Amino acid sequence: MILKNFFTNSFGILTSRIFGLLRDLLSASILGANIYSDIFFVAFKLPNLFRRVFAEGAFSQSFIPAFAKSTKKTIFSFKIFTKFFLFLLFLSLIVTLFSPCITKIIALGFDEKTIEIASPLIAINFYYLPLIFCVTFFGSLLQYKNHFATTAFSTALLNIALIVALLLSKDLEKIEIVYALSYGVVAGGLLQLLAHIIALKSKGLLKIFKYGFLYRKKEIKKEEKSFLKSFLQAIVGNSTPQISAFLDTAIASFLAYGSISYLYYANRVFQLPLALFAIALSVGVFPKIARYIKLKDEKSANRLFREGFWILFFLLSLSSAVGIIFSSEIVKLLFERGAFTQKDTLESAKVLSMYLVGLIPFGLAKLFSLYLYATHNQKRAAKISLIALSVNVLLYALLVAPLGVSGLALASSGGGIVLFILSIHSFGVKKFLDIILCKKLYIYILAMAILIPLLLYSKEIIDGYL
């Protein structure tokens, strides 16, 4: 079951990332790394921040255990959905009305002219948020029913919409291209929503809107209150990487034009193994672990967790080694064409290497944190996240001045290392040692001892031909 769910999610994410790669190739070629690309990445940053908190963390990890425990699942689901959707729609309207103020908060280093250009784009992009919440909510219901394919594969629809927007607008002025991309974001959200509605209908899950609307029960007040408390704690617990990326963008806006774009392109490469392995595996095993814990079957939950850990540890280690050693070659192969220059490649590669330092800790912390959510320890996860974020901010002050934009990425990785260490402590050091001190550890050490010299030798050969 773990491998089936993992491969379903991984293949779906891989499909999405292939389209995402095509999108980024077109973006780099058509827009390059300049003020216009910076403006779009800033405009998409805020809804993307919320998307990652919702879709890859807080909401699903809080909703699925609460839904499993609920005695009035239909009514509980309906009330949670309507309250969140209406709130996010209202928030989108507020962002539209006060977009200049929001823009100043997101990109503190932008001058008045740049803020004026970026503000309406931020308002357009923000309407992706209520759409992606609907997608996340529907995806959580489907995950509970062990249906992962729709959510995994539908993420490609956003990238397809953006590719179409780029192709249709490639001969226009750069500002018009950025507008086309922004409308493409909203179109992608609508396509994702449509795909989930079709899947819900096929599974007979649309009835929550029928029966949830017809019946109101006071009995779920306690369940609803418990979920909201859990969700707020989970937002803090899941948001360290996202808030870190958000702060990276804000600080990079004070640096030279192109810095935000270097962060974006490097982070896109970094996010591939993180999503393909860590997020895919976590999403795949979380509902099953939550069910085992609900049934008080701790032995089965630990067995499933142990399997997930070793699969993830091997894959993240391989990705980190390849990514750090071949960072320049990867960025050059993917992006260096059109408006994306050799200088942009070198700068982006430095940032990528610094991000990849944190790949293993961020990925494994994701797995350990889901165990805390499954055991309803959201408050502890929130405290861990706040401590890690504080360390991250402290590292900004120490690293940005000497390292520039690369220092932002290294500070983020430092926060990830702290997050991982604290997650192990909360999970239980003894339990962690029981997982890692086994025969697989010797196989891992041997594999890395062979792999790293081979990669370094391969790099020398490749560089000799370039």
pLDDT for position 188: 92
- Pick the closest to residue 436 from 360, 341, 357 (CA basis): 360
Instruction: Please tell me the predicted confidence (pLDDT) of residue 382.
Output: 76
Longest CA–CA span in the chain (Å) reads 72
Instruction: Tell me the per-residue pLDDT of 4-29, one tens digit each, with 9 for 90 and over.
Output: 555 666 676 677 777 877 887 788 77
Q: What is the pLDDT of residue 194?
A: 94
The pLDDT value recorded for residue 241 is: 64
The answer to whether residues 302 and 383 touch, using CB atoms and an 8 Å cutoff, is no
Task: Specify the pLDDT at position 218.
Answer: 60
Whole-number pLDDT of residue 242: 67
Burial of 199-216, coded b for 16+ CB within 10 Å and e otherwise, reads bbeeeebeebeeebeeee
Tens of pLDDT, residues 239-256: 666 677 667 777 877 776
pLDDT < 50: residue spans in the chain: none
- Which pLDDT does position 392 carry in this prediction? 87
pLDDT for position 193: 93
Single-letter residue type at 187: A
pLDDT of 161 reads 93
Q: Domain locations in the chain?
A: 2-465
What residue type is assigned to position 378 of the chain?
A: Q
The pLDDT, as a whole number, for residue 108 is 66
The pLDDT of residue 220: 66
Tell me how far apart the alpha carbons of residues 198 and 204 are, in angstroms, rounded to a whole number.
10
| Residue indicated by tokens 């500070």 | 411
